[in-house]
Amino acid sequence: MAFKLPKAIDALQFGLLSPDDMRKMSVVRVITADTYDEDGTAIPSGLMDGRLGTIDPGQRCKTCGNRVGECEGHFGHIELARPIMHVGFNKKIYKMLRAICRECSRILLTDEEIYKFRQDISKFEKRWKKKSASMINEILKKAAKTEECPHCQALQSKIRLEKPTTYYEEVKTSKKSKVVERKKLSPSDVRDRLERISNEDCILLGIDSYYARPEWVVLTVLPVPPVAMRPSITLESSIRSEDDLTHKLVDIIRINQRLRENIEAGAPQLIVEDLWELLQYHVTTYFNNEVSGIPPARHRSGRALRTLTQRLKGKEGRFRSNLVGKRVDFSSRTVISPDPNLSINEVGVPEEIAMQLTIPERVTEWNIEELKELVMRGPVNHPGANYIIRQEGLRIDLRFVKEKRNVADSLEPGFIVERHLKDGDIVLFNRQPSLHRMSIMAHKVKVMLYRTFRLNLCVCPPYNADFDGDEMNLHVPQNEEAQAEARTLMLAQEQISSPRYGGPLIGANWDYISASYLLTKKGTFFTKKETMQFIISSGYNKDLPKPEIKEPEELWSGKQIFSLFIPKDTHYTNRAKICHKCPECLEENCKYDAYVTVRHSILKTGVIDKKAIGSQQEGSLLGRILIDQGTDVAREFLDGITKLFIRVLSYKGFTVGFWNIDIPKEAKARIDEILDDAERETRETIDAYRQGILERLSGHTQEETLEMKIMEILSKSRETASDVAGEYLGMENEAVIMAKTGARGSMLNLGQMAACLGQQSVRGARIKRGFKGRTLPHFKHGALDAPSRGFVRNSFRRGLTPIEFFMHACGGREGLVDTAVRTSTSGYMQRRLIHALLDIKAEYDGTVRGAQSEIIQLKYGDDGIDPAKTEHGQSVNIDAIIDRVLKTEVEQS
Amino acid sequence: MSKASTSTPKKDFVTPDTIQKAVTKMNADGLLPHNLTEELVEKLNEREITKKQLTVILNNVKSTFRNALIEPGEAVGVIAAQSIGEPGTQMTLKTFHFAGVAEFTVTQGLPRLIEIVDARRNPSTPMTEVYLDEEHKTDVDKAKEVARRIELTRVENVASNVSIDLSEMTIIIEIELDLLHDKGLDIDNIAETISKGRKVDVNVEGNLIHVNPKMESLKDLQKVLTKIRLMPVKGLTNIKRTQINKDPEKGEYVIYTEGTDFVKTLRIPGVDQTRIYTNHTYEISETLGIEAARNAIIKESIAVLKLQGLDVDLRHITLVADLMTVTGGVKQIGRHGISGEKASVLARASFEITVKHLLEACLTGESDPLKGITENVIVGQMIPLGTGAIDLMMNPLKKRDKLSKKAASKTK
């Protein structure tokens, strides 16, 4: 850059440019409407004048002498033949015109009022910005009501604004008469009036005359933005295509020129006025091409031009897409796939990507040999380097270096080597939509074969990722400060606990849960060989405990194996997911083995399932370990057990299939009976309704009552049918294991597959739309019975009839539409919430303050506790502490 | 957990008095909140604890609490916004849901949450829970009586037929006396309300009311007819329906109303003003003040999230509610509230209505202090949040001078 940015910007001052300012900053007065001549050189004093900056690579700017990247462009100007209104200010101009005298331009308030208002404004200005703004409006309104100027006694007339930029004055012919004469106020008239406003009065009009004199809103000079702001593009066919802004400026200059010529030639008033108005139109659309009331200026193809306002506005505008959100280097994106052998802290990066992304490393005495090696390997072999930056700032591209040895030898401390990503580097990993902070976490690189990013399955919930084609982004922090920050604050293990509810968000899922159940349930034993296999490959390298069964063969129980991975000094008690919720809990003696107790890091009773190690579970074993022993231990635990589970599951085998939802004949008969009963009951209810003897529920009509009753009957029948099916599907059934332990699916899903799919609903009611008086032509008019309103009697196993299939599709479609609509509404809500709350931070004094240091809370959350460091919002788990202390005490004594 | 009882009671256990004293001493700096210390004392009293154990426990509690404190500079605002916004994607969009006890529909889920943070003046389904005072709460009939005072009754609600007698040019209202008495009214009440402030003749004949508005044309008569039909006889205009439910736990009757008129409901005799509740947060702020509005926002938000089975820490919700109410009036989250009133021009422009904010800032000669987050992102500076909020204050030149001086003095 040619200029050096100041170190820090303290404040930004907004204001208007005066005509003189515009002339002063201008490097060229643009008078020619053309851009280039035949041989493609820019016409001097044209819109592409070389003095406006350069966009051609290799060419030097005629003003500053810099090349493309360095010259940021220079403004030119157009002298407007007549003053032109600025559209953006039309409301303000209207308000001002109404509030000032048409003769003397003083504000239409008495001296006393002026004094009083000025006092009030100076009182509120500093402390209560919003109040002073609303006061200005009050002043403007009050002044507009005055009919006679208190200063020069001139009679006032009504001002009308004809949108967007024409002002009329309704002059009364005499003081009492009702006859009004409508007179157009030309921009010149308006400018004259505004010019006469005194600086003192400006304050009352809500204008800071130091930065913006009121008359400057009527333009006499128009700045021409530098070419860098409106680059022309050359198409393949070497046809130049100009930017929308250039097109608009061409129009403005052309009309301006004609207007000037006509005025100078003394053309009739009418012609001048027409041209003036046309110029006004062009300038208006140059500023904003979406003004209501006038047609937008169009491109030759019919597309509306994208002028200044459109460039700034909205999601694709400058603000939201370039200023608040920025594009970055050192990033990559590809498809993700799972790898259970990675730690949760790791991410598998394809070698191809690792060779593109680099980290600048400064050469020191200590790493010089290592870096020389990397330079030798060059940009095409994996642990290599792409660039060298010498001390004087010269960049050497290693792709074009023939003799790598020479370059490597020339390396000396102070050089910077841009080396490839290698194992152990820290990177940021992200999946959109980034709804919470866990959507971007730091991982350690593990360079791998093939072309996808690999991640541990436990980090799927925070990213909300699956592997059906999801893609994720990866960013490489480029300096030590950023890397250190990522490592200490953003590493996946530091994000295990969710700040949303104070519990682990990263945890075991799906097959891990099934495996943990299979491993820790009663009666799971393994021989020495098996046990060794499992624990060695899971990273356990200490002694094996004594086997639980010694004779006839040494056997280790699953609980024993699991206990090896529990960190020491862990005590835990909870009910497992499979808990039957018996009215009286037998605790340790639970016959379903659902009461989990861990004492001194030994799993005494209970099976481990979703409740203990799953993500998003409150009061889990994982959460206990996390709080008591910290993130390192929790990560080790999670990495260890998940590896163990994978080994166990692949050893034991686990398959879900059609047979899982197969139920015996008698069960089918029972289900049929239940459904028959339900359908009969529905018919009876409908009959009762038809006869008008259906008892109305309070606050509902007969129809509503009927619908409610039928819904109740049918949903109940589905439930009982599901329960019947459930009776025949035992805990040895893989699908049931998954449902009950929380691995995947629910008993409801199973019931729908095995017994009966049940009532399909649209908008929370039975399906009723379609044909006149019926859902499908297969039914009688006015049919209200179960099948005609979307009750699916069959199960997925048995297969749906075409009609049932249709009804099911109706219900399914609603779900799809619902999600599509929901994402946009909730996204907007979140954007608003974030924008409103993003300045708020916790301060050193414990208060919570906004951007202006205004206090919002005296103590964060009334106790100053970080929810991410709590157990479900509880800052201190007193019971756990007392238990732990008492237990260690018992041990000591 | 029951191990404490099995341990041999040979040691001296501390008395409740010493526990209390120790806890007070431990919390001398007032770091721990009151409810936590109370819970601690209570739980310690349940166990048998030696003095040594007590000190260990208390130290443990204090250090755990210290560790859980929020770190200075933490972007608590963004965390709160994300914590509330993220579950939004998981919420149902279904607008209607039966609200627990009452048998009418109440907006739930995402639309309701948006309504709350928007601080709408007219929520889509306002309702009131009216608790009754000692006299009325246990008796159905008395509860009904109160409900009748609240619920709006129009003439058409008690009339079986309202018609025009063409020959007489009068309106005849046929009153259903059962309905009328059920509402606790008699026919004269109706006649009175109709005649009140109107130039009409009203005659009561059995269950018929003859109204003679002395109109000439049939058109006018018809206009009067509709007016009479919709004429409120009793109750509050905004309340379309009431329902009485029995609270199964407390055994008292509670009236639920569809539609709200909080101020007027408060004045109805028989209403327990201390327990009445409405989901209309704006009305609460108007009648009960800003603190009540804050609590209402928190309570309503929690209710919505809980019903969807979503777990959000209370601290996030209170932060949002506090932000909405700090200035003493309820402010919306969005363009007409907090985001529209930010001190920074760039922050406002980057949210919505970009150009308007920029142009206005020019006229008023506003300056942007660049104290917030968005502004600093825009100009490309470090944001004053988290690790960016920390500055290193060091004058390297001064340091060098000092060092060289030291070196100089050493050589001397």
CATH code that applies to domain A331-504: 2.40.40.20
- Kindly tell me if the per-residue pLDDT of B201 is higher than 80: no
Pairing of strands A440-448, A346-350: parallel
DSSP state of A137: H
Q: ipTM of the predicted structure?
A: 0.88
Q: Report chain A residues whose CB lies below 8 A from the CB of B323.
A: 836-837, 840, 850, 856
Pairing of strands A453-455, A331-338: parallel
pLDDT, average across residues A172-193? 80
State how far residue B40 is from chain A, nearest Cα, in angstroms. Answer: 7
Average pLDDT, chain A: 87
If asked whether residues B51 and B23 sit together in one domain, one would say: yes
| A278-314 tens-digit pLDDT | 999 999 999 998 888 888 888 888 888 898 999 988 8
What is the CATH number for B368?
1.10.150.390
Contacts of A811 (CB under 8 A, 6+ apart): A760, A761, A762, A767, A790
Burial class (CB in 10 A: 0-12, 13-18, 19+), B3: exposed
- Cα–Cα dist A207/B366, whole Å: 10
- pLDDT at residue B9, rounded to an integer: 47
In a domain, B262, yes or no: no
3-state DSSP assignment of residue A198: coil
Q: State whether residue B351 sits within 8 Å of chain A by CB.
A: yes
Closest to A841 (Cβ–Cβ): which among B74, B91, B92?
A: B74
- What residues are paired with A13 via a beta bridge? B367
- pLDDT at residue A480, rounded to an integer: 92
What are the start-end ranges of the H helices in A206-305? 244-264, 269-287
Q: State whether residue B92 sits within 8 Å of chain A by CB.
A: yes
In order, the DSSP letters of A451-504 are SSEEE-GGGHHHHT--SSS-EEEEE---SHHHHHHIIIIIBGGGGSEETTTTEE
In a domain, B284, yes or no: no
Q: State whether residue B411 sits within 8 Å of chain A by CB.
A: no
- Residue in chain A closest to B331 (alpha carbons) equals A836
In a domain, B160, yes or no: yes
Is residue A498 a contact partner of residue A506, using CB atoms and an 8 Å limit? no
State how far residue A156 is from chain B, nearest Cα, in angstroms. Answer: 25
| A596-647 tens-digit pLDDT | 888 888 888 888 888 888 888 888 889 889 888 889 999 999 999 999 999 9
Closest to B363 (Cβ–Cβ): which among A11, A212, A309?
A: A212
In a domain, B32, yes or no: yes
If asked whether residues B358 and B383 sit together in one domain, one would say: yes
% of chain A residues with pLDDT over 90: 30
pLDDT, average across residues B337-350? 86
- Kindly tell me if the per-residue pLDDT of A1 is higher than 50: no
- Residue in chain B closest to A87 (alpha carbons) equals B359
**Contact A832/B345, CB-based, under 8 Å?**
no
- Kindly tell me if the per-residue pLDDT of B216 is higher than 80: no
Amino acid occupying residue B327: T
Closest to A8 (Cβ–Cβ): which among B1, B49, B381?
A: B381
Where does the pLDDT of residue B388 fall: very low under 50, low under 70, confident under 90, or very high at 90 and above? confident
- pLDDT at residue B5, rounded to an integer: 45
CATH code that applies to domain A658-807: 1.10.132.30
User: Distance from CA of residue A276 to its chain's centroid?
Assistant: 47
- pLDDT at residue B2, rounded to an integer: 43
- pLDDT at residue A619, rounded to an integer: 82
- pLDDT at residue A468, rounded to an integer: 94
pLDDT, average across residues B140-169? 79
- Cα–Cα dist A855/A843, whole Å: 10
- Residue in chain A closest to B339 (alpha carbons) equals A836
Q: State whether residue B311 sits within 8 Å of chain A by CB.
A: yes
Least confident of A185-194, A881-890, B35-44, B156-165: A881-890
State how far residue B186 is from chain A, nearest Cα, in angstroms. Answer: 24
**Contact A697/B3, CB-based, under 8 Å?**
no
Residues 164-193 of chain B whose Cβ lies under 8 A from any Cβ of chain A: none
Is residue A561 a contact partner of residue A535, using CB atoms and an 8 Å limit? yes
- Give the mutation candidate from B47, B54, B76 for the A interface (greatest A CB count, under 10 A): B76
Look at the block and give the residue holding tokens 């686990």.
A654
Contacts of A396 (CB under 8 A, 6+ apart): A387, A388, A389, A390, A407
- Give the mutation candidate from A588, A830, A840 for the B interface (greatest B CB count, under 10 A): A840
**Contact A851/B44, CB-based, under 8 Å?**
no
**Contact B367/A13, CB-based, under 8 Å?**
yes
Q: State whether residue B101 sits within 8 Å of chain A by CB.
A: no
pLDDT, average across residues A381-391? 90
In a domain, B202, yes or no: yes
Q: State whether residue B330 sits within 8 Å of chain A by CB.
A: no
Q: State whether residue B96 sits within 8 Å of chain A by CB.
A: yes
Q: Report chain A residues whose CB lies below 8 A from the CB of B43.
A: 878-879, 882
- Cα–Cα dist A561/A89, whole Å: 76
Where does the pLDDT of residue B17 fall: very low under 50, low under 70, confident under 90, or very high at 90 and above? confident
**Contact B68/A700, CB-based, under 8 Å?**
no
Number of domains in chain B: 4
| A132-149 tens-digit pLDDT | 777 888 888 888 888 888
Contacts of A430 (CB under 8 A, 6+ apart): A439, A440, A441, A463, A472, A473, A474, A475
- pLDDT at residue B8, rounded to an integer: 47
Closest to B241 (Cβ–Cβ): which among A699, A840, A878?
A: A699
Q: Report chain B residues whose CB lies below 8 A from the CB of A839.
A: 77, 342, 347, 371-373
Q: State whether residue B38 sits within 8 Å of chain A by CB.
A: no
- Out of A83-87, A110-114, A706-710, B126-130, give the one with best mean pLDDT: A83-87
Where does the pLDDT of residue A447 fall: very low under 50, low under 70, confident under 90, or very high at 90 and above? very high
**Contact B367/A207, CB-based, under 8 Å?**
no
Is residue A499 a contact partner of residue A605, using CB atoms and an 8 Å limit? no
- pLDDT at residue A422, rounded to an integer: 92
Where does the pLDDT of residue A449 fall: very low under 50, low under 70, confident under 90, or very high at 90 and above? very high
- pLDDT at residue A126, rounded to an integer: 67
In a domain, B58, yes or no: yes
Fold of A33-74+225-321: DNA Excision Repair, Uvrb; Chain A (4.10.860)
Q: Which of B234, B253, B283 is the last residue of a domain?
A: B234
Residue B203's domain comprises 153-234
Q: Report chain B residues whose CB lies below 8 A from the CB of A885.
A: 53, 56-57, 60
Q: Report chain A residues whose CB lies below 8 A from the CB of B111.
A: 825
**Contact B50/A889, CB-based, under 8 Å?**
yes
**Contact A865/B315, CB-based, under 8 Å?**
yes
Closest to A852 (Cβ–Cβ): which among B43, B315, B343?
A: B343
- Cα–Cα dist A445/A425, whole Å: 5
**Contact B355/A860, CB-based, under 8 Å?**
no
Q: Report chain A residues whose CB lies below 8 A from the CB of B347.
A: 835, 839, 851
Q: Report chain B residues whose CB lies below 8 A from the CB of A835.
A: 339, 347, 350-351, 374
Least confident of A122-136, A488-502, B77-91: A122-136
Angle formed by the axes of helices A90-99 and A129-145, nearest 10°: 60
Q: Where are the domains of chain A?
A: 33-74+225-321, 85-220, 331-504, 510-652, 658-807
- pLDDT at residue A353, rounded to an integer: 94
Cis link prior to A433 (omega < 30° from 0)? yes
Fold of A510-652: Enzyme I; Chain A, domain 2 (1.10.274)
In a domain, B343, yes or no: no
- Kindly tell me if the per-residue pLDDT of A888 is higher than 70: no
- Cα–Cα dist B344/B270, whole Å: 51
State how far residue B72 is from chain A, nearest Cα, in angstroms. Answer: 5
Where does the pLDDT of residue B103 fall: very low under 50, low under 70, confident under 90, or very high at 90 and above? low
